[in-house]
A and B are shown apart, each in its own frame.
Chain A
Amino acid sequence: MTAEWAGAAPLLEMRGIGKSFPGVRVLQGVDLTLHRGEVLALLGENGAGKSTLIKMLAGVHRPDEGQIAIDGEPVDLSGPDASLAAGIGVIHQEFQLVPGLTPWENIFLGREQTRWLVDRRGERERAERLFEQLGAEIPLDTPCGELSVAQQQLVEIAKALSQDVRLLVMDEPSAALSPEEVPRLLAMVEELKRRGIGVIYISHRLEEIFEIADRVLVLRDGEVVGSGATAGLTRGRLIEWMVGRSIEREYPKQWHPRGNVRLRVEGLRRGTAVRGVGFEVHAGEVLGLTGLIGAGRTEVARLLFGADRADAGEVWLDGRRLQLGSPARAIAAGLCLLTEDRKHQGLVLGAGVLENFGLPNLEEFSGGGWLWGGRERRAFDGHAERLRIRLANPAQPARQLSGGNQQKVVLAKWLQRQAGVLIFDEPTRGIDVGAKYEIYQLINDLAGEGKAIVMISSDLPEVLGMSDRILVMHAGRVTGEITDVAHATQQQVMELAVA
C-alpha cells in the first residue's frame, strides 16, 4: 500500500486509467475517486468515454493502463463475477430482468437459495424485506414484464442490494421515468447514500445532478475536463465543460407568426389509454404535449400516425380528412412521427445509415421499382451537412452512431419527406447537450418554415423552454392548456399533470 492511500482509503480509486480500441483512444489518464456514502455524478456527451469507464467497473473491459483499487486494495476486475465479488453493482439503462419471472425470482436469479428444491418461500420473504427497507411497494408476484419502468428499476436496485453491493453505478436512471417518479428515485439514492453505499450517477439532466450529487466529474474525448463539489458549480459551467464551449441559452426559442391550422384532431379515443382528445396546431407553432408517463401522450401520437388503430376520432391535415390506421397513408398525407423509442421503432439498427434514411423516401429516389442510389446519396449528404451528422461513411450501421447522431439520422429521413406536420416524441431523450441544442435549433427552423410541430416531452424545462403553447395530459385526457408559456412554471404543469 502506498503512502497516498494511507489513512481512510476511499471506497473506489481509479488512477491513470487509459484504454484504446483498435485505432482509437477512448480513455486517457482518467482519475476517479469515490467515498462511502457519496454520490458522484459522471457527466459527458455521448462518446466521451463514460460507458467505457463504467464497463470497466462492470468487468466488461479491462484498462490498458492505470489501476483500480477498492478500499485501497488493488483489484483486477477481470469479469462480471470479479466485479460483483468486489462489491460493485451496475444498473444499466436497459434493465437486465427476465420479463416472465416475478421480482423475487429475478432478484435471486442465478443465486437461488435451495433446500433440495428452490426455497421459494425463503426467497420471497427476503425480497419482501429488501423492498421494505427501500420503502417501496412492489407487487411481488407479478411478472416483471408487467411492472412499470419505475418498478422495474426498483427491482434492479433491490437485486443489487441483495448482492451486498457497496458501490452502485446507475446509468441514466431517470431517462425512462416520468417527472413525478424522479423525486422517488432521488429519495432512493439518498437512502443508499445514508447506508454508506457509494453511487456513481450518470445523467444528462443537470437539475437532478444539482439535487443529488456531492461531486461532479466531467469527461470529454476520454479525458477528465473538470471536477469538483457540486455546491461550487453552476449549470453553465457544467455545460461548458461537456461541450467545450459555452452555450448562451440552453433553450434557443424563437417565436414565429402563427399561420393557418395545419393539424386538427377531434374526439380521438382508444380504450382507456386515450379518452377523447382534441386539439389544433397551427403553421409555425410548436405545441408542447406533456404529462406523466402513461398519461396517453405517446398513444395520441401513435393514433394520429396510424401506428395503432383508433376506436374513434377524426383528424384533418391542412383541412383534408386523414383516414386513420396506416402509417403509410399518414406519411403520404404529410404527417411524420419521430418515435420515442429510437432503437426499436425509429431505426433499423443493423442496417446502414443511408438505408435508414432512404426507407420512407425510396419512392422519391426510384423509378419503376428501380433504385437510383446516387439521388439518395446526394439527398442524404445535404441533410448530413445541415444537421451536422458525424459518421465515418453512410454505409455504416446505424447501431454504431451515438444517440445524438442516431436521432439526427431519424430527423433527416423525415425532413426529406417535406412533411407539413411533425410529431416529435421525446426528441432529446438520452442525447447530450450539444446535440440537444442543435435539435432545438432545427425545431426553430422548421417552425420558421411554416410547419406545425407537436413536441412530446417529459423534460419540463424543455417543454417550457421550447413550446409556443403547452397541452398537459392526464389519464388519457387533456387536463389543461398553457398559452402564456413565458410565464409558466414547472409547478403549474405538474399540478395539471397529476390532476
Chain B
Amino acid sequence: MNTQRQSRWSGHWLLRDYGMVVALVLLVALFSWLTLTEQFPTGEDAGRQVAELVLAQPDSPRGVLVVVRDTPEDWAFAEEVERGVKAGGATVLARVRGGAPDVRQAIERILAEGGTIDAIAANEVTASWSVYDRFPQLDQVPRVKPQPYPWPNFLKLSNLLGVANQTAIYALIAIGMTLVIVTGGIDLSVGSLVALSSVSTALLLRDWGGGAQAGPAAIVLAALVGTSLCAVAGSLNGVLITLFRLPPFIVTLGMMMMASGLAFRLSEGRSIPELPAGFAWLGRGRMVGVPNPVWLMLGGYLLAHVCMSRTLLGRYVYAIGGNREAARLSGVAVNRVLLLVYTLSGALAGLGGLVLTSQLSAGDPKFGQMYELEVIAAVVVGGTSLQGGYGKVFGTLIGAFIIAVIKNGMNLLNVDPYNQKIVLGGVLMLAVLLDTAKRRSGH
C-alpha cells in the first residue's frame, strides 16, 4: 500500500534526483535580475552598428572622425566602422587611438588642413570626453556611439565562464568526495593533498625538470608523480579504513595533517614559482573558447556519471553505503571497492592541485586550505546523504555551481566578504534542511 503512495509523490525523475537544479535555475534568475544594467556593445558588432548609424545621419555625412582608445577591442571596433563608412561612400578623416590629447591634436590638424568633420564615430567612453567642447565648430556635429541595451552583468559569457573556471577544481575533487560519502565515509585529507601535489610537482620541475626551461616530457612526468603521490596517500587512507577498520573521519583527519606538514616541509614553507610556460596550458589554456579546467571538469563528471550508473563499481559503491554487511554477504569485495574509492579521491585531489598550480603559476603549501569543507559542502548541497547510500554525481556538480553562483552573485552585488560567509553557511543548512524534508516525505 505504501507503494502507490510513493509513486504519487516521487514525481518526475529529474526533480526527484536533481531537485537542486530548480534551486540553481532560481538563483541564476535572481542574480540576473539583480545585476541587470545597461550594456554597450563593443568590438566588431558595435563597429558595424555605429557605421550604419553614421550613414543614417541627416545630410549624409562625408567626413567621419573615428575616436577609440588604444585597446585591441577598440581597434576592431574602429576598423569595422571605417570599413562600413567607406562602403557607404563616406571618408574617414582620421582614426584616433589613444586619449583626449590625441583627439585634440587630430581635430586641430584636420581643421587646419581645411577639412570638415560631419560626424564623430565613438564608443560609449570616447563619446563622452569633453575635448570636443573646445571646438565650437563641432557644436552641431553628431557624436555617434553604439546603442545601449539592458543585459545582466551576471549573464555575460565572460562572467559565466569565470564562474565555471573557478568551480572546476572544487567540482573535480568533489567527484571523489561524492563516491566516498556515498559509501558512508568522509575524506578530510583532500585539501592538504591539493597542497602536496602542488608542491611536489613544482619541486620536481624546479629541481629535476629544469625549472622554467622544463620540456613537455618533464612536465607530464612531474604531474604524474605529483598525482600518484596523492593517490598513494588516498590508498593509505583506504588501507587503514578497511584492513584496520578505523573510522574514516579520524584516518583522513590524520592524513590531512600529515600531507599538509609534508607539503610545508618539502617547500620549506615557501612558494615555488619556477615553472615552465607550457605548464600554464592545463589551468589557463582554452579550447573552443572554454577554459581547459572546465573541459576537465565536464569530462570528469561525464565519466563519473557513467561509472556510477552503468558499471559494477557504481552499484557496489551504493550497496556498500546502503548496507555494508548485506553487500559483504552478497559477495561484494567491500574492502577492495573502498580502497579504490579512497585512492580515487586522493588522485582527484592531486589533479585539482595540478590545475590550481597551473592557474596560479606556482606551487605553494598554502594551496587547498579549507578545500575539504568547500567540497563537502558542494556534495551535501548536491543532495548526497552523509549517511551513505544515496547521492548522484551530477547533483554534486549542481551543488558546486549553486555555491559558486551565490559567491559570484554576491561579489557582483558588492556584498561584504564577511556577510558572504554568513550567507553561505545559511545556504548549506538550508540545503540539508530541504533535502531532509524531501526524504521524509518520500519514505
Contact = CB atoms under 8 A, between A and B. Distances in A.
Interface in A152-190: none
B318 A351 contact: yes
B62 to A, nearest CB: 72
A363 B311 CA distance: 10
A296 to B, nearest CB: 19
B443 A371 contact: no
A400 B8 contact: no
B313 interface: yes
A392 B1 contact: no
Interface string B340-373: 0000000000000000000000000000000000
Contacts of B328: 307, 327
B326 interface: yes
A449 B442 CA distance: 42
Given A359-B315, A371-B311, A371-B312, A47 B1 contact: yes
B9 A22 contact: yes
A86 interface: no
A349 B327 CA distance: 11
Q: Is the interface of A mostly helix, strand, loop or mixed?
A: mixed
Given A348-B319, A366-B312, A396 B6 contact: yes
B310 A328 contact: no
B323 interface: yes
Contacts of A337: 329
A29 to B, nearest CB: 17
B331 A328 contact: yes
Interface in A314-336: 327-328, 330-332
Interface residues of B, number: 32
Given A23-B4, A344-B323, A351-B322, A369 B312 contact: yes
A350 B322 contact: yes
B5 A327 contact: no
Interface residues of A, number: 43
Contacts of B322: 348-351
Contact of B6 (A332, A347, A363, A392): A392
Contacts of B9: 22
B333 interface: yes
A400 B310 CA distance: 24
Nearest to B332: A359
Given A350-B322, A371-B310, A358 B329 contact: no
B148 to A, nearest CB: 53
Contacts of A350: 322-323, 389-390
A116 interface: no
A393 B3 CA distance: 9
A391 B329 CA distance: 24
Contact of A400 (B2, B323, B330, B332): B2
Given A47-B1, A369-B311, A371-B315, A348 B327 contact: yes
Contacts of B414: none
Interface string A1-40: 0000000000000000000011110100000000000000
B140 interface: no
A371 B309 CA distance: 9
A360 B330 contact: yes
A391 B2 CA distance: 10
B319 A359 contact: yes
A391 B311 contact: no
B5 A339 contact: no
B4 A24 contact: yes
A348 B327 CA distance: 8
Given A348-B323, A355-B319, A413-B330, A21 B310 contact: no
Interface in B1-56: 1-9
Contacts of A345: 323, 325-326, 329
A131 interface: no
19 contacts: A22-B8, A23-B5, A26-B1, A305-B329, A327-B328, A328-B332, A344-B325, A348-B318, A348-B389, A349-B323, A350-B389, A351-B318, A360-B331, A366-B311, A371-B315, A373-B310, A391-B3, A397-B443, A401-B3
Interface of B: 1-9, 310-316, 318-319, 322-323, 325-333, 389-390, 443
